[in-house]
Amino acid sequence: MHRTLCLLLLFAASAAAADKVTLALNWKAQPELGGFYQALADGSYDEYGLEVTIRQGGPQINNRPLLAAGRVDFLVGTNLLQAFDAAKRGVPTRVVAAMLQKDPQCLIVHAGQGYEEWSDLARAPLLMAATGRYSFFLWMEAAHGFQKRNLRPYNHSLAPFLANKKWIQQGYATAEPMRVEEASGEAPLVFLLADNGWDSYSTVIETRLNLIENRPELVQRFVDASILGWYGYVYGDNAAANRLIKQANPSITDGQIAFSLKQMRAMGLVDSGESIENGIGAMRMERVQSFLKKMVAAGVFKPGEIDPGKAVTLQFVNRGVGLDRRQQLAPDQSNNQ
């Protein structure tokens, strides 16, 4: 039924001018956002009747207000915290898909320092930026016994971490470990928060409620085409997408792209959990509720102030879109799931 509907939508889209939509990113072009560039490069957006413009984010760029203001149509959110905050403030937006099943946020540790298990990290001096102190650290403190007295300021320089072997630091599993190995000659240990109870989805797609209500077929086409892009990027020929990424973000290197892709695949950041049976982008409301409960326990939000249904909708996911593409591109991967 779903395949028939998609074919009808594609036929209708091909008979009319493509819908122009803008996707705003939460950071600069990089492999962690590669599926969107793949959908642009391989024609998935075109096939679904969409003319997509991708607007980059960055350290001095906040694209989030543009979504509610109607200046962009879709927004990439880092995790569910921003969507919860929007629901708290009554902003009429919703998460409609999750491109990453696991948040790449991690803690990085020098090997051979006695930090072998996640539980060992609670006693270590911890380099952390301000944003982390008021989000995932509150959960680490409440759920795992990390202590504020161990916090050290992190200004995105590796120098303090490299100089103090007993210290640990926050990082992105697809980026900092490579930089540490290049600087020190030794690969660090990497502990994903996602493997230790931080169950937020990541790289979520958000849109406005009025677009969901008035143009659900447009939202569905964008979600489906993006999902296909992600399958192509993770399992297929992503050379054209990587060229677009480097064109948009000239500072990124081929080595960084290769490392990020390797980590994404090895850690199952994109395709694991719910996506195995339901397709990339999959979400469960039980997991959304679980994460919200943890954030309430950590003091990030107050009990009862957020309705998860006003932050996330499952209307556009869990349809198995792209499972045939995974089978085609990576049959061994499909057979091993």
Whole-number percent of the chain with pLDDT over 70: 94
Report d(CA 22, CA 55) in Å as an integer.
7
CATH value at residue 147:
3.40.190.120
Residues contacting 4, CB < 8 A, separation 6+: none
Domain boundary among 143, 171, 196: 196
Q: What is the CATH number of the domain that holds 90?
A: 3.40.190.10
Verify that 301 and 227 share a domain, yes or no. yes
One domain for residues 287 and 313: yes
Q: How many domains does the chain have?
A: 2
pLDDT band at 1 (very low <50, low <70, confident <90, very high): very low
Burial-class residue 9 by CB neighbours within 10 Å (0-12, 13-18, 19+). Answer: middle
pLDDT score at 234:
98
Q: Which of 148, 166, 196 is the last residue of a domain?
A: 196
Question: Are 219 and 331 within one domain?
Answer: yes
One-letter identity of residue 191? F
Which residue, 196, 212, 233, sits at the end of a domain? 196
The answer to whether 270 and 101 have CB atoms below 8 angstroms apart is yes
Average pLDDT over all residues of the chain: 94
Separation between Cα atoms, residue 259 and residue 281, nearest integer Å: 23
Q: Which H helix or E strand runs over 240?
A: helix 239-248
State residue 331's pLDDT score.
86
Pairing of strands 168-172, 202-208: unpaired
Please state the φ and ψ torsions of residue 169, each to the nearest 5 degrees. Answer: -150, 155
Confidence grade of residue 9 (pLDDT, cut at 50, 70, 90): low
203 backbone dihedrals φ, ψ, rounded to 5°: 45, 55
pLDDT of residue 6: 57
Whole-number Å distance between alpha carbons of 26 and 220: 21
pLDDT tops 50 at residue 13: no
Same domain? 116 vs 52: no
CA dist 311 and 47 (Å) reads 29
pLDDT at 332: 78
Mean pLDDT value of segment 55-75: 95
Determine the Cα–Cα distance for residues 290 and 197; give it in Å rounded to an integer.
10
Cα–Cα dist 47/101, whole Å = 26
Pair (130, 240) in one structural domain = no
36/228 Cα distance (integer angstroms): 9
Residue 326 domain boundaries: 2-101+200-336
Let me know: does 211 contact 73? Beta carbons within 8 Å.
Answer: yes
pLDDT band, residue 10 (cuts 50/70/90) = low
In this predicted structure, the answer to whether residue 8 has a pLDDT above a threshold of 60 is no
Residues 283 and 323 in one domain: yes
Same domain, 325 and 222: yes
Distances (CA, A) of 293 to 81, 204, 298: 12, 19, 9
Radius of gyration of the chain (CA): 20
Question: What is the DSSP code (8-state) at residue 111?
Answer: T
The string of pLDDT tens digits covering residues 78-129 is 999 999 999 999 999 999 999 999 999 999 999 999 999 999 999 999 999 9
Q: What does pTM read for this prediction?
A: 0.94
Q: 170 - beta bridge partners?
A: 107
Strands 19-24 and 74-77: parallel
Distance, in Å, from the CA atom of 100 to the CA atom of 211, rounded to the nearest integer, reads 23
Do residues 307 and 210 both lie within one domain?
Answer: yes
Looking at the structure, tell me whether residues 216 and 268 fall in a common domain: yes
Q: pLDDT tens digits for 237-271?
A: 999 999 999 999 999 999 999 999 999 999 999 99
pLDDT, average across residues 301-313: 97
Residue 337 confidence class, pLDDT cut points 50, 70, 90: very low
How high is the pLDDT of residue 245?
A: 98
User: Domain check: are 189 and 292 in the same one?
Assistant: no
pLDDT at 336 over 80: no
Same domain, yes or no: 217 and 318: yes
What is the pLDDT averaged over residues 61-72? 96
Segment among 174-183, 247-256, 258-267, 327-336 with least mean pLDDT? 327-336
CA distances from 95 to 87, 170, 177, 229 (A): 11, 26, 30, 18
The whole-number pLDDT of residue 16 equals 64
Same domain for 205 and 184: no
